[in-house]
Structure formats: structure tokens, C-alpha cells
């Protein structure tokens, strides 16, 4: 079974693409079930979600600011972009 914790990477930035409301809700629920929180220990389901979330090396999630969005769209090195819908569906091509 694929989990969010398996995506944690200490060498690359990890961004999770959440294409629609259903996938956003699923990601936040999965994160909470796995014990993943925001950096300030707030549970994922207690905050709004965005279309792209960052997964930190310490196992927390966070929102992207403008610099994170620039990195997501334009940095080709040291970045993993994960399509969460494909990831949970078991697709091999879940890396964008």
C-alpha cells in the first residue's frame, strides 16, 4: 500500500498535486490517518487545503508561498512532483 510517508525525501523537495476537491479531501484524510501534521502540529483536516501542498523532510505538510510555486513550476532539479490521484490509484507514472 502506498502511503504519504513513503514520499518523504531528504534530498529533494516534494510537492503533491491535488487536482480536485475529492483528491484534496482524500490527501488531508490520509495525512491525518498517517499522523502527519502541519509544522505547528495542527491536524490536516483542521485547515483548508490548496491544489499543491509541500511534504517536508521532517514529515510535516505545508502550503506553498510564491517561492514554492515558482520552484514547483520551474525548477527541474531536486524536486519531486507527485500526482496524488495517480499515486493512490497505483499508477507507475505518478511523478509529474
Q: What is the pLDDT of residue 84?
A: 98
Vertex 96, ends 35 and 43: CA angle to 5°? 20
Which residue matches cell numbers 510564491?
A: 66
Q: Has residue 75 been placed in a domain?
A: yes
> 95 forms bridges with which residues in the sheet?
82
Give residue 46's pLDDT band: very low, low, confident or very high (50, 70, 90). very high
Q: Has residue 31 been placed in a domain?
A: yes
Q: Has residue 30 been placed in a domain?
A: yes
Q: Has residue 83 been placed in a domain?
A: yes
Q: Has residue 96 been placed in a domain?
A: no
Q: Has residue 95 been placed in a domain?
A: no
- Identify whether the C-beta of residue 36 lies closer than 8 Å to the C-beta of residue 65: no
Query: How confident is the model over 11-32, as pLDDT tens digits?
Result: 999 999 999 999 999 999 999 9
Other Cβ atoms less than 10 A from the Cβ of 78: the count is 10
Q: Has residue 94 been placed in a domain?
A: no
Residue 18 belongs to what domain range? Answer: 5-89
Give residue 77's pLDDT band: very low, low, confident or very high (50, 70, 90). confident
Q: What is the pLDDT of residue 12?
A: 92
In terms of DSSP bridges, do strands 79-83 and 13-17 run parallel, antiparallel, or are they unpaired?
Answer: parallel
Amino acid at each position: 500500500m502506498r502511503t504519504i510517508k513513503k514520499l518523504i525525501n531528504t534530498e529533494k523537495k516534494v510537492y503533491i498535486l491535488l487536482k480536485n476537491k475529492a483528491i484534496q479531501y482524500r490527501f488531508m484524510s490520509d495525512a491525518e490517518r498517517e499522523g502527519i501534521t502541519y509544522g505547528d502540529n495542527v491536524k490536516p483536516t483542521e485547515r483548508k487545503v490548496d491544489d499543491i501542498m509541500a511534504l517536508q523532510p521532517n514529515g510535516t505538510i505545508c502550503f506553498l508561498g510564491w517561492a514554492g510555486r515558482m520552484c514547483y513550476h520551474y525548477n527541474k532539479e531536486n524536486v519531486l512532483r507527485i500526482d496524488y490521484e495517480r499515486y493512490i490509484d497505483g499508477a507507475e507514472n505518478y511523478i509529474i
